[in-house]
Structure 1
Amino acid sequence: MPGRRAPTAVVLTALLSALVAGAAMTGSALLRDRPSARTPATETPPNSAASIGVSGCHRAPCQVLATATVGGTVIDLVADAGAASGRLRIGGPSASLVIETTITELGATLTHDSLQCHPASISACLIRGDTDEGATGQVVVGRSGKWSPLARAFYSRAGHLALVDIVNDQAPEVLAVQPDCPADTDCAKRPVYAQVFELSGEEVGCSRTYSRIDQLPGYPEVDFTAAQLRPCS
């Protein structure tokens, strides 16, 4: 296992504290060779859901792009016209909690494939969108009916972000596929590798490189075991 990974108990305690307090954690997930131009601010834009309501839109017409169910709770990803902004509606149409998306402020476009949720002791939903430089994602975590967004962004320069269960530690991890080449270069035909993070942003490890993205284990549902990861260099 990679030596830089934080102890599981510490990670879970930090996430639970964020949920109970209702406050988002700050910082950004550090990805190897991440383009500096895409570095997000340490704090996400303020949540403006209170001004638009549960089903309201900044720009009509409003549409539900995707729906997931976690522990009996219906979660909708709602977008404005053009999917240039959106929100996560926790509890379906009658929801009392609406979480504004932040990846759209970083240039991501929402689609029908932008929502992935993973039920666990600490559940998580990943909102992901395409950008000019790959894909960007934000995570919302939940436990015992309490949901809170984490104020950090995840990036994949190869355009693949997903929640996976690799470590088996009561919470999923974030898997980001990266091209094995320097930032700000044409990496279209370069080998790729998977980079795995705890929800807190702590790096778990990286896979070996593969010649093409479709060679990653399980592609397009990419997954690894903990034994297949090594420290990221």
Structure 2
Amino acid sequence: MRARRTPWAVVLASVLSVLVAAGALVGAVVVREQRVAPAQEPPPTVTPPPTTGVCLVEPCRVLAVAKIAGTTVELIADSGATSGRLRIGGPSSSSIIETTVTDLGVTLTKSSLQCVVKAMSACLVSGNYDNGLAGQAVVGRSGKWSSLARPFVSGAGYLALADVASSQSGPEVLAAQYDCAAGTPADCAGEPVFVQVFAIVSGTEVGCTRTYDDVGSLPGHPRVSVRAGDLSPC
């Protein structure tokens, strides 16, 4: 039994959900959702794909590119990387999804995009937030993609997609948290950490691992690996 568990991530995630929902009313979480266009050949590294018309604030650039079962997913950032879009299907596609996580003050980087292929594939757009990380999940099935309203938060600075339960409902989200009762990541720096696992679509908590000395001690770090048998109620 764990002696301590901070409710910080749960409380903050609930607050962020309200903020994201409010921002969605103004900016629209999903701009357009269409059947994904045929996969395009990746552009030469010296010639980035065109971004004209995708950004609200020019100039904009492609920060990261991922391939999901032959479909290209591009993270495109506006000037300053404080807002952006996911373009799904390559440079000619009109399937564009807003990055709502930037409404929380997250700045996009080349490391902000991670994608996992399953029957329901998923991408996670994340960045630094409040001494930790905050992320936005986007899921796709049968060529149709949508953004999920609930943000995911890691107080200890590790947030990623992983296949934990081996289900057909998509990958899970791994969020490292401090095992600390102080209440904020800044107060808890140096405390032991554990991995909180969430079902990506519902956002429900699947379970938590035991505690480790620090993030670097998590199994498989820097690409943390968690099995269903490693989890117990949080």
Provide the C-alpha distance between the structure 2 equivalents of 1:186 and 1:95, rounded to a whole number of angstroms.
45
Q: Per-residue displacement from partner, 1:39-81 (whole Å, max 9, x unpaired)? A: 214425224847xx97432222111010001111100000011
Instruction: Check conservation: 2:175, 2:196, Cα contact below 8 A.
Output: yes
Contact between 1:141 and 1:150, CA under 8 Å: does it hold in 2? yes
The one of 114, 118, 121 aligned to 2:119: 121
Displacement after TM superposition at 1:186 (Å):
1.3
* Cα distance change of structure 1 residues 172 and 133 upon mapping to structure 2, 3 Å threshold: same
Instruction: Identify which of structures 1 and 2 has the higher relative contact order when contacts are C-alpha pairs closer than 8 Å and 6+ apart.
Output: 1
- Correspondent of 1:138 among 133, 136, 139: 136
CA distance in 2, matches of 1:80, 1:193: 35
The alignment's TM-score, normalised by the length of structure 1, stands at 0.80
Distance in 1, Cα, partners of 2:140 & 2:83: 22
Partner residue, 1:172: 171
Aligned-CA RMSD value: 1.9
CA distance in 2, matches of 1:108, 1:74: 23
Q: How does 1:74-223 map to 2 (within 5 A)?
A: 74-170=72-168, 171-182=170-181, 183-184=183-184, 186-199=187-200, 200-223=202-225
Shift of 1:37: 6.0
Instruction: State whether residues 77 and 108 of structure 2, in contact with CA within 8 Å, keep that contact through their aligned partners in structure 1.
Output: yes
Alignment length, in residue pairs?
A: 200
Tell me by how many angstroms 1:142 deviates. Answer: 0.5
Shift in Å, 1:107: 1.5
| Match of residue 228 from structure 1 | 230
Contact residue 54 and residue 95 of structure 1 kept, 8 A: no
Q: CA deviation at 1:35?
A: 7.7
Structure-1 residue corresponding to 2:59: 61
What secondary structure is seen at the aligned counterpart in 2 of 1:205?
Answer: strand
C-alpha contact 2:158 2:215 (8 A) present in aligned 1: no
Q: Secondary structure at the match of 1:40?
A: helix
1:201 is displaced (CA, Å) by 0.5
| Alignment TM-score, normalising by the size of structure 2 | 0.80
Structure 2 letter corresponding to 1:206: C
- Per-residue Cα deviation, 1:12-33 (whole angstroms, up to 9, x for no partner): xxxxxxxxxxxxxxxxxxx832
Give 5+ residue unaligned stretches, structure 2. Answer: 1-5, 33-50
The percent of aligned pairs where both chains have the same amino acid is: 51
Task: Report the AA paired with residue 193 of structure 1.
Answer: F
